[in-house]
Amino acid sequence: MTKKVTVMEVALRDGSHAVRHQYTVEQVKAIVKGLNDARVPYIEVAHGDGIGGSSVQYGFSHTYDIDLIKAAKEVADFSKIAVLLLPGIGTVEDLKLAHAAGADMVRVATHSTEADVSAQHIKYAKNELGMEVVGFLMMAHMTEPERLVEEALKMQSYGADIIYVTDSAGALLPEGVTARVSALVEALDVPVGFHAHNNLGLAIGNSLAAIEAGATYVDGSVRALGAGSGNTQTEVLAAVLDKAGIETGIDIYGIQDVAEDLVAPIMEAPQIVDRDNIILGYAGVYSSFRLFAQRAGKKYDLEPRDILTELGRIGVVGGQEDMVMDVAARMAAERA
C-alpha cells in the first residue's frame, strides 16, 4: 500500500518572519491561489508569531492578519486555511475572528514543556468552533522524548486532532527526530506531525526521518521561506517524496512554479545556511531570533553570532524576543 503524507504549507506564516511581516492582500491571494491549484492540502496564514502577533515586541504587520485570512479563503476552493496561535499572544477572541474569516484549522503552539497553557484554546477551537486542531510543541530539541510524550498526551486529552514535534531552532539531528517522533507515535491515539528548520541544513533529512518514524504530517515552505534558514523547502520535499513513492497529492510542477514565479520575486534575500543561521541550530536558539540578534549587533557593535551563542547558553525560548536587546546591552557593558 502506498504511504501517504499530508503536507502543510507555512510560507505565509513562518515566512512572515523573513519578510518582516509585510505580506499584502495581493501577495497572499496570488500565492494561495497558486498553492491551491497545486493541490496543497493546508496553507497556514498569519503573522509569524501567530494571530494577534502584530506588536512592537514581535513586529508590526503590513496588513491585519484577519484580512489576510479572508483573502486566502476567497481563492482557496481546495486547500484548507490554517492559522497559528500562541497562548499569551493570541486570544480566544483572535481565534473567533480567524474562524469567522475562514480559518479551518488552528495550530496551538506552546513551548515543549508547557502544553497545559493550550487547554483553553484547544478546547474552545474544537468544541465551540468545530475547527481542526493541532497541538504544536515548539523547541522540541530542549525536551527529551519521555517528557515530550507527557506534554503531547495533555494536548491529546484537550482534544487536539494532531500533535507536532516542532524543531523551532533547527537544532535536531536525524536520530533526535526519530526518537521524539517514534515516542509520540507509540504513545498517542492521534497522528503525529513534524516541523523543521534548515539552520543546520537538515530540514529535508529530518523530515524524511520523521516520516520513517511514523509522522504522517510534515510542514514545508515554498522556496524555504521562513525564519532562520527557513523550513523544509516544499517544492523539494514534494519531489523527494514522489521519488520515494510517498503520496502527497501535490502537483510537483505546479508547486515549483509557485516557488519560482510567485514567492521568489517577493523575497528580500535567499534562504541560505549562513553563519548566523548555523549558530541558531548549533546553539539551539529560536529561529526568529536571528533578525533580532542582527539588529542588536548593529546597535551595540557586537557580532550577532556571539549574541546568539549567549542566548543559547542561557536557554531562551520563543516569546522572549525582548531579551535579545537586554543580553546585547549586558554584553556590551561587560566588554566596556
DSSP secondary structure letters along 202-235: -HHHHHHHHHHTT--EEEEBGGG-SSTT-B-BHH
pLDDT in tens, 307-333: 999 998 988 887 788 889 999 999 999
Which among 314, 250, 236, 230 has a CA at the least distance from the CA of 38? 250
Helix (H, G, I), strand (E, B), or coil: what is residue 107?
strand
Predicted pLDDT of residue 2: 62
The CB density around residue 176, as the number of other CB atoms within 10 Å, is 19
Give residues with Cβ within 8 angstroms of 33, minimum separation 6.
75, 76
pLDDT in tens, 214-224: 999 999 999 99
Query: Could you tell me the pTM of the whole model?
Result: 0.94
Give residues with Cβ within 8 angstroms of 105, minimum separation 6.
42, 80, 81, 82, 83, 131, 132, 133, 134
pLDDT in tens, 104-125: 999 999 999 999 999 999 999 9
Residue 82 has pLDDT above 90, yes or no: yes
Average pLDDT, the chain: 95
Binding residues for Mn(2+): 14, 195, 197
Expressed in angstroms, the distance from the first to the final Cα of the chain is 65
pLDDT in tens, 232-248: 999 999 999 999 999 99
Residue 195 has pLDDT above 80, yes or no: yes
**Cα separations in angstroms, 313 against 84, 89, 101, 280:** 28, 25, 41, 11
Binding residues for substrate: 13-14, 168, 195, 286
Write out the catalytic residue numbers. Answer: 17
The domains located in the chain, with CATH, are: 3-266 (3.20.20.70), 288-335 (1.10.8.60)
Contact indicator for 67, 25 with CB cutoff of 8 Å? yes
Residue 157 has pLDDT above 80, yes or no: yes
Residue 1 has pLDDT above 60, yes or no: no
pLDDT in tens, 36-67: 999 999 999 999 999 999 887 788 899 999 99
